[in-house]
Chains A and B, each alone.
Chain A
Amino acid sequence: MKLRSVTVRNYRIHKELTVAFDETLTVIGGPNEAGKTTIVEAVHRALFLRSRASGAVLESMRSAFHPGHPTVELTFESGGGTYTVTKQFTGTNSAPTTLAVAGGQTLRNDEAEAALRELVQAEAIGGRNSEDKLRMQWAHLWVWQGVAGADPLDRDAMQEPLERLRGRLGSLDEGGVVESQIDAAVGRIVAETHAARTRDTGTPRVDSPLGKADAALAEARTRVATARAAIGQLEAAIESIERADTIIAQCETSLAARRTEQEENERRLGEAQAFEVRQAEQQAAATAAAARLAAMTDADRQIRDCETRITAIEGRRTPTAERLAAAIAAEHDATTRCATAQQAARERQQEQANVGELAELHRQAEHLEQRRSERAGLAGRCGRIADLRQEAAALQKRLADLQAVTADDLADLATYERSRDAAQAKLDAIATRVELVAADSTVRLGGGALAVGRSETIVTDTPLEVSGARLVITPGGGTSVAEATQLRDAAAAALESRLRELAVADIDEARRVQPLRQTLQSAVDAKRAAITDLGDTTADADLAALDAEIAELAETLRGQTRPDFSQPTSLEAASAARKAITERLRGLAQAVATTAAEQQAAEQLLIEARARREQTADEIRAIDGELRDAQVRRDVLVEEHGDQRHEAIAAATLDQATAAAQLAATQAALQRLQPDLLRKTATRLQRAIEKLLTDGRTAVAERTIALDRLRNEGTLDPRDDLAQALAAERVAEAAQRQAAREARAYALLAQLFAEKKAEIEAQFVAPLVDRVAGYVRCLFGADATVSIGYAGDMFTTLELSRPEFGGAAMPFRRLSGGAREQLAAAFRMAMAEILAQDHGGCLPIVFDDAFVNADPSRLVGIQAMLDRAADQGLQVIVLSCNHRDYDGLGAATVELRKTVFARGTEESGTTAPAAENSGADAAVG
């Protein structure tokens, strides 16, 4: 089918316009709003919209400028004929449609429409939503503005043509391989069986035959393991028994050997013990012999030591004895001299005592005379004291007669007097004084007469009577007069009271009495002091005592009978006699001292001589004691060891050697027997025997336990059980192998079905792919490839691979806007090529501003692609604002110009037809 020309009338901006289409390539140019799209839309509506269509679709066609119904007249070729379809869109049921066959009849209305349907092989659109439905018609051939980049596999927009394409591909000689029902059914069973049996990971599902076989095999293996374990336990028990038997036998053998060893060891140990007893005895004997010999040797040495010592002591004694004789003689001489001196001293002492007695008598006589003299003095003093006492008593009597007024009392009285005077003065100051200066008659004040020249002080309301007149004087001061009067009376009363206490008439008397009392008291005190000074308290007693002493002394002297004593008669004589005798006594004392010193010297000499004699005697005694001890010790030793001690020492030496030799022999024998080792061996053997017994008992116990384990219950033979388990395992293994083989076979089948299905699907779309690739290579070079997915009776993917992108397949939606437009165009043209076979090998394809995103270099490729489409028999119509972009295409060009209309005015030149020929512009306006 090929478009020849179209004429539109009253269609939007077009009053009337005819555009002729080139058979292969037409470019319709013109600025925006020049009506390019309107032209191809009008062609599309002539082909697919019923003339009676109304509503929005009709309104969209009507012209705002040109009255009259929109009318389209389209001339096209199809199947060798030329047809002109004319549709006047009146919006009524009677809208006319005609289809005129060149050189033939003209069909009208429904017949015309039906014939047109046959020719375009698509339904007519009318009724509701006509615009939307219209866009679905020949959607692959009409690339409306703005949809150029849309996915050509979009099922919503392209469902019908894609469906048609699928059908057409199936009938192509070059492809045409499709899945059969049996293919699908068997493939489905295989896939479902495989999926039901195997997970995506490749492992079998639990409920699949292989899964069950695996489980059965695992169970069988578990059963084998259990059966083996049961037998293992039995065998272990048998091994235990055999091991125990071995141990018991070994223990018994070893025990017998050890016991033999033990007996031998005990025999030798007995022998050793006998030697040890003998050795102990011999050791004792040898020790005793040695001790005896040592004792003897020692005694002999001691005797010899004693004798040496006696000789030495005797040597020391002789000079000492000589010194003792000399000391005795010296002592005797000193004794004689001492006796002489003692005699002389005694005589002098006797004389001294005699004279001493006489001197005492003289001292007493003198003392008596002194006492007599003292007595005369003491008697005078006692008389003086008595006189003083009488004087003091008289003074005391005078003092007692006076009032007892002290200086303090006097001060008190003065104080009271000052108080009273002060109160009076205060009263006087405020009282009224009434003074009678002269009077003819009696003046009476307060009931009392007032004397002339006398003044009275009144302190209260007081009547004054003068010559029958009676006046009342009232002193000023108010109540303070009464208070002052009261104070003055109180002070006067206090003074009076104190005077009464002191028994004085007034204060002047008190002032007179008090000094007199003071003078008398001083005189009394002076007398008493004098009495005290004269020893008032002791004088009488002293006198009595003196008298007694004098009497006693006189008595003593009266009894004296010494011839050489005569009592003196005076103090002076007594004193002279006492001095003379005292002088004589002093001379005698010197003589006594001299003789006493001589006696003391003689006694000292005697003491020294005696001491020397005693010291020497002690030395002699000590030497004698030493000598005696040495002699006694020697005698005792000699007595003890006898005279034959040298022979005894020789015998003891021999005994000791014999005993030592015997001991050595025994020790050597014992050493050979190694008793320590024998004892250790005994311990070791005992330990070993005990261990063997323990081991044996343990083995017996283990054997008993193992035997018990072997006690057969008898309902099941574990070996039989194992055999059955092994057989079951073999069966399970075989079943598992078969199930695995079957699973693998299903996996293989599923894989092959998927592969082969993909293969025929690829083969199915190959003609389409080849054609799309042919266009794409015009754009992207010879190495660019295209792939089209086809599965489940549907085209699924469109992908472009380009060498400069590494050959990776880029899905349509991931391409750039320009590449999407271009790939979509390639796909549409390939599709049109295939579908054109139902239309006499040609179909028109319209691109309305479909390459707006192409850059200038890509435009070259686009033109090559469009040219290829034309070569393949398609009629290519391109609408563009910039028709110069397509200069390289060598296409027929129709250029529309934009026209400005004034509402209600007639357009001019709207009917100018387009040039009949290609290459000529259609100027409208």
Chain B
Amino acid sequence: MTTFIHTADWQLGKPFAGIRDAAKRTLVQQERIEALRRIRETVVTRQASFVVVAGDLFDSPTPTKTVVAHALGVIGEIPVPVYAIPGNHDHGGHGGLWEQPFFVSERRTRAPNLHVLLERASVERDDAVILPCPLLQRQTTTDPTTWIRQLDLAACGDRPRIVLAHGSTGTFGSQADGEDAAGPANVLAIDSLPLDDIDYLALGDWHGFRQAGPKAWYSGTHETDRFPKAGQRPGHVACVTVSRGGMPVVEPIATGRLAWVETALDLGDDAASRVEETLAAATREAGFDRCLVDLALGGRVSLAARRELDRVVESWSHRLLRLDVRNEVTLVPSADEIRELVDRADDPILSRVAQALVHQIEAGAAEADDAREAVNILHGLCQQEEATE
């Protein structure tokens, strides 16, 4: 019986360019490295013999030295060997990270327990044999697991055999997250592998914890890095116990702390209060300073409600680590607002202009949006003028 930790898709140094505030961006980036410390704790508590990382340690084949230095510092704190393969993000191609002198030197001195497996050759341990399938180019048309099919696995004896690979299994694989286009599909034909001779397939690329076959699991990313798809469970590592010929025992263990929340609201004139309440509820558990929210707003709001809504949204945008607002709210002046603008016997021009705009909005012409904006402006100007009178 061998117990080890299966993790993947750390994607350290991910830009999170969608976060406009540089300080918040740094916080989110730093959280991915902090999460490695929780992996270390898991290793200790579960008495794991080693850690396998199924690709994409880094978000890019050219991470900054700061990211590399921070990452290797924390990896070096893990008290067991860490076996990692390059994935499509940090592929082992030319000019990539793994051959940069800085990385080589830092790894040797600060994280000697990190073994980056750049060759398709088995790694022999007393308690297991690791069969790495590194991605050596940005894109491979050949299945990186092919070499295992030609291998005489009998030589491994009774040690459990662990395949370490990064790619799509056809059903699951990396997906675009809005900031990062999905990389080229590296398809793993895991069904073609001699599954009887293999005891566990530690897979990377799919960011949620997921079983991909009888003995195949995606661990998902250790810290959520995007708004997850429905049912996806990012922010975990897999604690795996294997033995030769037996079925693996796989347990997801949470390591992520950030909450990525997606919410959609259909709003009326109580828009501001609803948004306030919804966001407060959604961020209560993780804390607003650890939440990233995608807010899809729809519905129809009056001019005044819109102004109030804008105020609340602005407040939350500064509180949260990230707030993406997909604002599809339709601005519809209320009957009172329209009256306020149109029923002006003493201001014949203003009244007629407002009537024309209302007419355009009601006609739903192509210019309706511009007319709504114009009404909003006109409303503001009237209030401003009346206030000065």
Contact = CB atoms under 8 A, between A and B. Distances in A.
A779 B282 CA distance: 81
Contact of B382 (A182, A709, A725, A744): A182
Contacts of A748: 357, 367, 370-371, 374
A185 B180 contact: no
Interface string A226-257: 00000000100110011001000000000000
B381 A190 contact: yes
Nearest to A230: B62
Nearest to A721: B15
Contacts of A724: 15, 17
A183 B93 contact: no
A347 B256 CA distance: 178
Contacts of A245: 94
Given A707-B94, A717-B64, A718-B62, A749 B353 contact: yes
A189 interface: yes
Interface residues of B, number: 48
Interface string A687-731: 000000000000000000011011110111111100111111001
A178 B371 CA distance: 25
Interface string A739-770: 00110111011001101110110000000000
Contacts of A757: 349
Interface in B203-220: none
B100 interface: yes
B346 to A, nearest CB: 5
Contacts of B350: 180, 182-183, 186-187
Given A234-B95, A727-B179, A745-B373, A717 B353 contact: no
Across the A-B interface, the 10 shortest Cβ-Cβ residue pairs:
A710-B95, A727-B17, A723-B15, A745-B373, A714-B65, A183-B349, A745-B374, A241-B94, A723-B17, A719-B60
B94 A178 contact: no
Contacts of A728: 17
Most chain B CB within 10 A, of A177, A180, A760, is at A180
A521 B36 CA distance: 181
A182 B371 contact: no
Contacts of B64: 714-717, 720
Interface in B72-108: 93-95, 97, 100, 102
B102 to A, nearest CB: 6
A720 B15 contact: yes
Interface residues of A, number: 51
Most chain B CB within 10 A, of A714, A728, A755, A759, is at A714
Contacts of B389: 182
Contacts of B285: none
A717 B29 CA distance: 14
B370 A717 contact: no
Given A719-B15, A720-B13, A744 B370 contact: yes
Contacts of A180: 344, 346-350
Interface in B39-92: 59-65, 67-68
A353 to B, nearest CB: 144
A725 B15 CA distance: 10
A112 B331 CA distance: 69
Contacts of B62: 234, 712, 717-719
Interface string B328-353: 00000000000000001011111011
B152 interface: no
B356 interface: yes
Contacts, number: 153
10 contacts: A182-B350, A186-B378, A707-B94, A712-B95, A714-B100, A717-B59, A720-B15, A746-B377, A752-B352, A756-B348
Given A177-B348, A179-B348, A186-B382, A741 B369 contact: yes
A185 B349 CA distance: 11
Given A190-B377, A714-B68, A756-B352, 17 more contacts: A180-B346, A180-B350, A182-B344, A182-B385, A189-B381, A189-B385, A237-B95, A707-B94, A711-B100, A712-B95, A718-B60, A725-B17, A742-B373, A744-B373, A752-B352, A755-B356, A759-B352
A727 B367 contact: no
Contacts of A182: 344, 346-347, 350, 382, 385-386, 389
B17 A178 contact: no
Contacts of A711: 95, 100
B137 interface: yes
A764 B179 CA distance: 60
Contacts of B93: 238, 242
Given A187-B349, A759-B352, A749 B377 contact: yes
A741 B367 CA distance: 10
A183 B377 contact: no
B274 interface: no
A281 B97 CA distance: 71
B94 A752 contact: no
Contacts of B353: 749, 752-753, 756
Contact of A742 (B371, B377, B382): B377
B385 A185 contact: yes
Nearest to B376: A745
A723 B373 contact: no
B63 to A, nearest CB: 5
B18 interface: yes
Contact of A723 (B65, B67, B180, B385): B180
A242 B137 contact: yes
Interface string A471-515: 000000000000000000000000000000000000000000000
A731 B17 CA distance: 11
Interface string B8-25: 000001010110100000
Interface string B180-216: 1000000000000000000000000000000000000
A716 B13 CA distance: 11
A445 to B, nearest CB: 173
A752 B357 contact: yes
Contact of B385 (A186, A707, A745, A752): A186
B138 interface: yes
A648 B97 CA distance: 94
B94 A238 contact: yes
A70 B279 CA distance: 96
Contacts of B13: 717, 720
Contacts of A749: 353, 374, 377-378
A715 B371 CA distance: 49
Given A178-B348, A753-B353, A717 B373 contact: no
Contacts of A241: 94-95
Contacts of A760: 348-349, 352
A80 to B, nearest CB: 36
A702 to B, nearest CB: 12
A715 B65 contact: yes
Contacts of A752: 352-353, 356-357, 374
B215 to A, nearest CB: 34
Nearest to A709: B95
Contact of B356 (A190, A717, A756): A756
B349 to A, nearest CB: 4
Most chain B CB within 10 A, of A234, A711, A741, A752, is at A752
Given A189-B381, A714-B100, A719-B59, A242 B94 contact: yes
Interface string B208-251: 00000000000000000000000000000000000000000000
